[in-house]
Amino acid sequence: MKSRIAVLILVFFSTYNLTAQSLYEVSLSEKTSHSTLIVEGKVIDQRSFWNSNHTMIYTSNKVEVYKVFKGSLSQSILEIVTVGGRVENDGLEISEALKLSKNQVGTFFLYPNSINIKSPTSFQRLWDVYSSSQGFIRYDLNKETASAPFVRYKSISGDFYKDIKTKTNRNFENKKPSFSVSALNNKNTRELTALAPVISSFSPAMVNAGALLDPVNNVLTINGSGFGTGAASAAVLFDDADDGAGGTAFPVAYNDPLVILWSDTQ
């Protein structure tokens, strides 16, 4: 059976409000003031599900919390809801709305979702991200930079931490002291240097983005050497158009369902 995927370019829901999407710039001050909770963390698990009326697909994103910049949190894990996802043979993707991936690290501007969407596993009320894709400051741990639509930070530990501290007027609560941006950056740099991957060619030179059911025209083969056979940090990095050229790269991990094959040379 072929999968069914719905792609919505402009969407207005009567049951769910996609607040302040990436159509105009939402300032850090606005995101901070409208958020009940601001946390830094890593997406460690995801599960998509239908709502009770079977009219909308949501995804619960389980996040391990590293730091708390605003609000309070007793546990180290929370769940964030995003609109869209894939349930068996049905999929839903929404243009401009936030879409998270496993192992992404960044800062989330959160508030309790207004229509009481609950986790399919814990049955707890899920957190929503204020201003959708603008409400997630995504980290590039290889470069120690961060970005979201309309904003970039040259240094996470310097520029971004300083800005968020100024806006919240408090020091952050460190929920996981073992996490260090600088330490991870140094570790990733050593790994990349040791692997020294080399790309020799692409085939074909151009593919059609988003043509999920058209493998003849959208399968990209990258040839070269030193790609490894798969590791936690192995991924193909694409320039992410959502935050402009040269922003935080969009990673496709070696074990992502979109990857058909991964070897040391292809």
C-alpha dist (Å) from residue 248 to 41, 94, 184: 16, 21, 16
- Give strand pairing partners of 65: 41
- Tell me the pTM: 0.75
What are the pLDDT digits (tens) for 36-89? Answer: 999 999 999 999 999 989 999 999 999 999 999 999 999 999 999 999 999 988
Q: What is the model's pLDDT at position 111? A: 97
Q: Which secondary structure element, helix H or strand E, spans residue 254, and what is its range? A: none
Q: What is the model's pLDDT at position 155? A: 94
Task: Please say whether the beta carbons of 91 and 6 come within 8 A.
Answer: yes
Q: Which secondary structure element, helix H or strand E, spans residue 184, and what is its range? A: helix 181-195
What number of CA atoms fall less than 13 Å from residue 22's CA on the CB side? Answer: 21
Type of residue found at 62? K
What are the pLDDT digits (tens) for 129-179? Answer: 999 999 999 998 888 999 998 899 999 999 999 999 999 999 999 999 999
